[in-house]
Amino acid sequence: MTTKKNMTHIRPRFEFIVPMQHLEVISKIKSKLESSPSQITGHISNDLVTLDIIPSEVHYWSPQLNFRVEEAEDNKQNSKIAGLIGPRPNVWTLFVFIYFSVGIISFFISLFAASKYMLGQYTPMIWAFPIGIIFMLTAFRVGKYGENLGRDQSKLFKDFLKDIVDFEDLDKIP
């Protein structure tokens, strides 16, 4: 099993092999979603699975689990499950927009201020770059805070997957 866990990852990825055929894994997921009333809902499209928290339990920082189930390349009797767990798409899009906007705006204002500085004209806009960095770090810390708020719901996803595949190394998923 490989996981890519890093302090800087807001959407950690995982990948592991389970000793079941991929269609068996998909059917187990379908039956678990249909049979057990839980805090998890989801949908399956071919080999792609998306798991969400039920609407009554969702808060802004609720995570979403997306993964793909496919045949393992080395053994057709095994399945490879690869995916990521992270913020829902609307939250993720907002943070990408914030990073992009702050980065572009601070870059161009800093570029303008640097050219003024090279011409011998002081402008307080020279502080745009460090202020932009501070805003980006703040957005990163807010994202990490949100990740902590969604930790219990992330554990629900891991437990759901653990029930399906009966695989002990799932605790290593970030």
Instruction: Report helix, strand or coil for 3.
Output: strand
| 61/136 Cα distance (integer angstroms) | 19
Q: For the segment 74-120, what is each residue's pLDDT rounded down to a tens digit?
A: 888 888 999 988 888 888 899 889 989 999 999 999 999 999 999 99
User: Three-state SS string across 49-98, please?
Assistant: EEEEECHHHCCCCCEEEEEEEEECCCCCCCEEEEEEEEECHHHHHHHHHH
| One domain for residues 69 and 123 | no
174 occurs within a structural domain: no
* Residue 167 token pair: 């695989």
Residue 53 lies in a domain: yes
Q: Are residues 11 and 53 in the same domain?
A: yes
Residues 75 and 113 in one domain: no
Q: Are residues 114 and 34 in the same domain?
A: no
- Average pLDDT of each block of 10 consecutive residues along the chain (174 residues)? 51 83 89 82 90 89 92 87 88 90 93 93 90 92 88 87 72 56
Same domain, 6 and 28: yes
What does the alpha-carbon distance between residue 50 and residue 43 come to, in Å, rounded to a whole number? 6
Domain count, the chain: 2
The parent domain of residue 124 ranges over: 92-144
Q: Report the pLDDT value the prediction gives residue 37, as an integer from 0 to 100.
A: 66
What does the pLDDT read at residue 170? 56
- Phi, psi of 49, rounded to the nearest 5 degrees: -120, 135
The answer on 76 and 29 residing in a single domain is yes
In a domain, 163, yes or no: yes
Q: Is residue 82 part of a domain?
A: yes
Question: How much is the pTM?
Answer: 0.76
Rounded Cα–Cα distance for residues 138 and 95 (Å): 11
Same domain, residue pair 127 and 159: no
Q: In terms of domains, do 112 and 130 share one? A: yes
Q: Is residue 105 domain-shared with residue 162, that is, in the same domain?
A: no
Q: CATH number, domain at 33? A: 3.30.310.80
Nearest-angstrom CA–CA distance, 153 and 80: 23
Would residue 127 count as lying in a domain? yes
Say how far apart CA 63 and CA 52 lie, in whole Å: 7
Task: Based on the fold, state whether residues 82 and 160 are members of the same structural domain.
Answer: yes
